[in-house]
Structure 1
Amino acid sequence: MVDGIYILANDVVYHQLVALLNSIEVNAGKNFPICIIPYDDRLELVKEEIQHRDNVELFTDTKAITIWEDFSTKVWQTHPYAWQHWQEDGIPKVYRLGMHRRFCGFDGIFDKFIYLDADILILNSLDYIFQQLNSHDFVVYDFQYKDLSHVYNANSTNLLNIFPQQRLESEIFCAGLYGSKRGVFDEERRNYLLSCLEQGEAEILYMNAPDQTILNYMVMRSGISSYNFARHLPKTEVTGCCVTSPHFQTRNNLLYDRGNQITYLHYIGLKSRLFNSVCDGENIDFPYRELFLHYRYLHEPEKRPQFTTKSKPYKVTPNLATRIFKKLGLKV
């Protein structure tokens, strides 16, 4: 039995990938097997980085990539208007098709695995997640269940006919980090899911987060056993994970939530170009920036940017005049 970690990445998120790999090395284990699933063919920097890490390899199973891209395409072709909408917007295939490659882990090299988006830092052991996979097929640790709007089409009149309210309030999850097993979604199960979607259920999918909505549907509709630590841990032990939480305390390059060490920090909502600009020397401030820079330059501190000017906030609130001009469609 081989356990491991999958990360979806390409050169666009190179700086974030390096920070993530270093955080895994320090906080989860130096020799943890890691496989990078390519978002697309922009991989020059990624391949160069892998050469320096004996425990990291590139996912090269083109058959699995084809299987999951075909499956994702078929899913969205069942949707009543997504395909046409994307075509009209000039998107030749599925919107963000590369994001759907995360599903390749279900046909990958690891028996049990944890999938990670590249915009994450690992800040604690992952052993307890792997242990939970001994009794469940799918494991997460997040609070997405509090917000349905980024998972399913909340305006769909069919949503409650497919999933009762109680399940919608308790089972949805963020697709940025999850644990699962190889073979959980085999061909028979994929065909079953497609048949359900073809019968009208595709309407509930949320087209602006195409991979996340599919994964939620796959897990919930197939009926596999799932577990969310955020809903099962005692309130005195549960921690947050999102960069939008301002109250985490930093100690020794780790984060604590009301005294409890958090497992991971997800820089969700922050664009890759922000991280790239900072690494290029632009002094832009964002939450937990120093933590990111610590792990990004862990092994090459001499390359860490030195800022001498006052930092700029990563979000600039437009003034009233700018907002009015923008609303009127005028240039400023």
Structure 2
Amino acid sequence: MTNGIYTFANDMVYDQLVALLNSIELNAGKEIPVCVIPYNTQLDKIRAEVAARKNVTLFDDAASIAFWEDFITQAWKAHKTAQKVWHKKGWPEVRRVNFVRKLCSFDGAFDKFIYMDADTLLMGPIEQIYQKLDNYEWVVNDFQYKSDMDYIFNPEAEKLIEKTIGLEKAKSQIFCAGWFASKKGVFNSVELADLLEKLKAGEAEVMSLRGSDQPLYNYLVSRSGISYYNFAYHDLEQATGSHWSSKFDVVDHVLYDKGRRLTYIHYMSIASSEFTQLCAGEDINIPYRDVFLHYRYLKSPEERPKLVRPSLLVRAQRNAKSFVSQNIGKIRSKLVSTGVLKRAN
């Protein structure tokens, strides 16, 4: 039986991927195999990095990629509310299709696997994760259940959620798609076909319009009834946080939560461009920056940049660009409503 780790990347997140791979090697061992699922074809740097590492491969099953992209496309096209809202805003029928490629993990070589976004760093051993997979089919370490579930499930479809999944079950099992563990074959072709038919028959409405792949993953896990374990829910006293916004202690380039070693840290919602700028030598304020830089340049410490603060003009330009990027949906919707732009078909 082969245990391994999957991640998801292209050249835009090259620096983050290098840091992740180094953190895996240092904190889990050089023998742990890692497979990189491509986000798209922008992979020149990624291919070179994979070729330089004996334990790393690049996922190349085109049929698997096509299957999952078709699956998410059919699922969201069946979401009548989403289609109506997105059409009015001038958005495409399906958003961020590429993100569903994370689920290619089920079609790869690893019997048991951990999936980690490229914007994560492994902080500790992972044997306990694989051990949990002896008794459970889906394992997470996620405190998202303590917040509202509007990013995962549609708050306007509570009756349907209660009927299909169970409201309390749906609330207690929500998780972030940036880190999870599971096993090959958990979803077979017959089960997936049945779940897709349920989605197309109206159950797609339970998915939140605020997400893309994440609502679908949560639906598949909760609706299928597979066994589920969340360290942050079932073992709260020993669980650690994982989000960069939390206050952690740093000891020898490892993060600790009240004396307990983290399994991983997730830099979710921090733009990849900020890591690129940081690694180019700009004094970008990223949480636990020294920890990230330690892992990024673990194998090439002589290349670690000396940081210089960008000029006021550069910072102003980037702030403006960031504002547009964060509000592009509202801007586009306004332009469509005023006739400046034509609505997408």
TM-score relative to the length of structure 2: 0.86
* Structure 1 residue aligned with 2:259: 259
> CA–CA distance in 2 between the matches of 1:165 and 1:311?
51
How much identity, in percent, do the aligned residues show? 45
> In the alignment, which residue of structure 1 is the partner of 2:3?
3
Amino acid at match of 1:238: A
Deviations 1:277-327 (A, max 9, x none): 111122111211111111011111122120244999x99xx9xxx9xxx99
Aligned to 2:342: none
Question: d(CA) in 2 for partners of 1:309 and 1:225?
Answer: 49
Q: Give 1:168's aligned residue.
A: 170
Per the alignment, do residues 38 and 86 of structure 1 end up closer, same or farther by CA in structure 2, a change over 3 Å counting? farther
Q: What is the aligned partner in structure 1 of residue 112 from structure 2?
A: 112
Provide the rounded CA distance (Å) in 1 between the counterparts of 2:93 and 2:25: 37
Residues 90/234 of structure 1: CA separation in 2 closer, same or farther (3 Å cut): closer
* Cα distance in structure 1, aligned partners of 2:311 and 2:235: 38
Are residue 36 (structure 1) and residue 36 (structure 2) matched? Answer: yes
Contact 2:99 / 2:213 at 8 angstroms: preserved in 1?
yes
Distance 1:34 1:93, change over 3 A: farther
Q: Counterpart in 1 of 2:340?
A: none
| Secondary structure of the corresponding residue to residue 174 of structure 1 | coil
Equivalent residue number for residue 244 of structure 1: 245
Structure-1 residue corresponding to 2:232: 230
CA distance in 2, matches of 1:86, 1:210: 12
Q: 1:85 to 1:285 in 2, by over 3 A?
A: same
Question: Tell me, what secondary structure is at the counterpart of 1:42?
Answer: coil
Which residue of structure 2 aligns with residue 74 of structure 1?
74
The aligned residue for residue 279 of structure 1 is 279
Whether the aligned pair in 2 keeps the contact of 1:123 and 1:255 (CA below 8 Å) is yes
Is the 2:151–2:209 Cα contact (8 Å) retained in structure 1? Answer: no
Aligned to 1:191, which of 184, 190, 193? 193
Amino acid at match of 1:21: L
Distance 1:229 1:84 in 2: 38
Amino acid at match of 2:220: M
2:183 partner letter: K
Could you state the TM-score of these two structures normalised by the residue count of structure 1? 0.89
User: How does 1:36-185 map onto structure 2 within 5 Å?
Assistant: 36-83=36-83, 85-86=85-86, 94-147=94-147, 148-157=149-158, 158-185=160-187
The amino acid across from 1:203 in the alignment is E
> Retained in 1: the 8 A contact 2:282–2:308?
no
C-alpha distance in structure 2 between counterparts of 1:136 and 1:18, whole Å: 30
Matched-pair contact (CA < 8 Å) for 2:76–2:93:
no
- Structure 1 pair 266–311 and aligned structure 2 pair: CA distance change class (3 A): farther
Contact 1:3-1:110 at 8 Å conserved across structures? yes
Check conservation: 1:145, 1:168, Cα contact below 8 A. Answer: no
Structure 1 partner of 2:222: 220
CA positional deviation for 1:163 = 2.9
The aligned counterpart of 2:294 is 294
In the alignment of these two chains, the number of paired residues is: 318
Partner Cα separation in structure 2 for residue 107 and residue 311 of structure 1: 47
Aligned equivalents of 2:154, 2:236: Cα separation in 1: 31
Q: 1:211 aligns with which of 207, 210, 213?
A: 213
Distance in 2, Cα, partners of 1:276 & 1:230: 32
The one-letter code of the counterpart of 2:9 is A
Query: SS state of the match for residue 150, structure 2?
Result: helix
The 2-side partners of 1:61 and 1:89 are apart by 35
**2:140 partner amino acid:** V
Query: Which consecutive residues of structure 2, in runs of 5 or more, have no partner in the other structure?
Result: 335-345
| Alpha-carbon distance change, 108 to 303 in structure 1, aligned in 2, over 3 angstroms | same
Report which of the two has the higher share of helix. 2
Report deviation, 1:227. Answer: 0.6
Per the TM alignment, residue 89 of structure 1 is displaced from its structure 2 partner at its CA by 5.8
